[in-house]
Amino acid sequence: MGTINLHLRARCPSLLTVGLILLLLASTAMASADESLLEYKVKATYLYKFGEFVSWPPSVFESPTSAINVCVVGNDPFGDILNQVVVNQLVAQRPINVRRFDVVERNSACHVLYVGGSDRQSVAQALDAVGGTDVLTVTAANDGDVRGIVNFVTRDGHVRFDIDEQAAARNGLTISSKLLALAVSFRPKS
């Protein structure tokens, strides 16, 4: 009986070893989840903070205290994070409304629009739908993909962004030089 027991111990890792492996795997997954959560908190904060550095045409808002609408269309990577980060925040003394759409249309009443793309409406289709309107479009596209006026990028583990000032001008928007200075790159208006 003793030989069988030794043989089983040699072939089966100890509970301590299995526990350590599971703990290592779980902590790696949690660290990855924490990084992802932090990434989306940063992006959600940027979404509404961009409004501080954009000038819309005067006719966009009914009054100086009208809300600014931060919208998400298509796949929503933020979930409740976006709702949480805008609580009690103001953009230029304006309250913030968060709205979500499966499909966006030209008259969406969005001021800042994160375009996630989906089977119902691709990123390109959503950008086309609001093109030429007073909407600050934001994407998280990879190289070669269709991009909004602002496009999130990750550099050295940090969330950063590119800006297309020409696209902003076509939408009647003016981007502050302070925001342009923070961009990894920007396409100047011609």
Assign residue 118 the CATH number of its domain.
3.40.50
Same structural domain, 116 and 77: yes
* 173 in the same domain as 132: yes
Both 25 and 88 in one domain: the answer is no
Same domain, 30 and 99: no
Tokens 């006026």 found at: 149
Q: 183 and 115, same structural domain?
A: yes
Work out the number of other CB atoms within 10 angstroms of the CB of residue 116.
18
Residue 34: its pLDDT value, please?
Answer: 58
Q: Which domain holds residue 145?
A: 40-187
pLDDT of residue 89: 96
Split into its structural domains, the chain has a count of: 2
| Same domain membership, residue 178 and residue 148 | yes
Low-confidence ranges of the chain (pLDDT < 50): 3-12, 14-33
- One domain, residues 44 and 12: no
Is 0.75 topped by the overall pTM? Answer: yes
Q: Are 137 and 113 in contact (CB under 8 A)?
A: yes
